[in-house]
Amino acid sequence: QVQLVESGGGSVQAGGSLRLSCAASTDRFTVFEDHMLAWFRQAPGREREGIAVISRQERANYGDSVAGRFTISRDNEKNVLYLEMTNLKPEDTAVYYCAANPNGYNCLLPNCYRYWGQGTQVTVSS
């Protein structure tokens, strides 16, 4: 079992930066570093969108809407996933979720993930 808690959301002006964190708690049978990890976001009235994924080997991949602006990383010692967001735009406004799955590679689809955080709001004003 994995429990995920996001933090770091907030309000920022366009062009600004934010860093999201996702702290993971695992039971004694679960190893955080064995999991594929990802960030998703969901704006009102829109489907949940996969924006960044990082593999067990720390290979990262990004959705087209954030490539070049966002960076995903993980700290397996601290059981934390990060999302560094720069050059934020109003269209980045959404609830951001972290997700984890014990299997898989390079997947940006919600049904690839078993565990989800509760989400953190990011609002970008123009």
Q: Pick from 7, 9, 16, 6: which is nearest to 90 by CA?
A: 16
Which neighbouring-strand residues pair with 93?
A: none
- Contact status, residue 101 vs residue 82, Cβ threshold 8 Å: no
Give 62-101 pLDDT, tens digit per residue: 999 999 999 999 999 999 999 999 999 999 999 999 999 9
Residue type, 55: S
Query: Which pLDDT does position 27 carry in this prediction?
Result: 84
Confidence of residue 108 (pLDDT cuts 50, 70, 90): very high
Give 13-64 pLDDT, tens digit per residue: 999 999 999 999 988 888 888 999 999 999 999 999 999 999 988 999 999 9
Q: Cα dihedral angle (31, 1, 111, 42), rounded to 10 degrees? A: -100
